[in-house]
Structure 1
């Protein structure tokens, strides 16, 4: 069952930290089955306007967690957490 991790950037606090995150995060993809599905600025139809959104696809929820919980990603994610307020969700596809 395909799984997605959805990152929604709500508010930037420190752009230099986000720049570090963005320059390093792709290196954490090595060895993980990740497809970048969406990277951009959403246009809110309802609710608050987010600053940005990234959606990553994985073949299974376990593969998604293996990347998200990996030591490599956790080290890089520290920059994301210092740089902005995000919501992050794991969503499983119901179409399979």
Structure 2
């Protein structure tokens, strides 16, 4: 069953750290079966506190999603997202 990684960036804390995250996350994606579906596109937020943007990645299943997220290369990149922004992220299985 397809699994989706959803990351919501609520606010930027440190632009320099956040700028380091993008290229590192892109490198961490290599060798993993993921498909970007949305990444900081035009946003028409209809509920909740304002956010800066969101990312949605599709994986073939939860195991593939966790293999990417738990990989040493993504965990190294993730430190820069955490230092650079307030965000929330989760996995959700499709129907």
When normalised by structure 1's length, the TM-score is 0.94
Where 1:43 maps in the other structure, the secondary structure is: coil
Q: TM-score, structure 2 length as denominator?
A: 0.95
| 2:4 matches 1:8 | no
Deviation of 1:42 after TM superposition, in Å, equals 2.6
| Count of residues in Structure 1 that have an aligned counterpart in Structure 2 | 94
| Distance in 1, Cα, partners of 2:68 & 2:52 | 24
Q: Which portions of structure 1, spanning 4 or more consecutive aligned residues, are displaced by more than 3 angstroms?
A: none
For residues 13-70 of structure 1, the C-alpha deviation after alignment (integer angstroms, 9 at most, x for no partner) is 0000010001221110111001010011532111112101000100001100000011
1:29 paired with 2:29, answer yes
For 1:23 and 1:60, locate their aligned partners in 2 and report how far apart those are by CA, in whole Å: 24
Q: In structure 2, what is the Cα distance between the partners aligned to 1:39 and 1:62?
A: 22
Bigger drift between 42-51 and 11-20 goes to 42-51
**Cα-Cα RMSD:** 0.9
Structure 2 gap ranges (5+): none
Q: Quick check: 2:36–2:56 contact (8 Å CA) kept in 1?
A: yes
Alignment partner, residue 50 of structure 1:
51
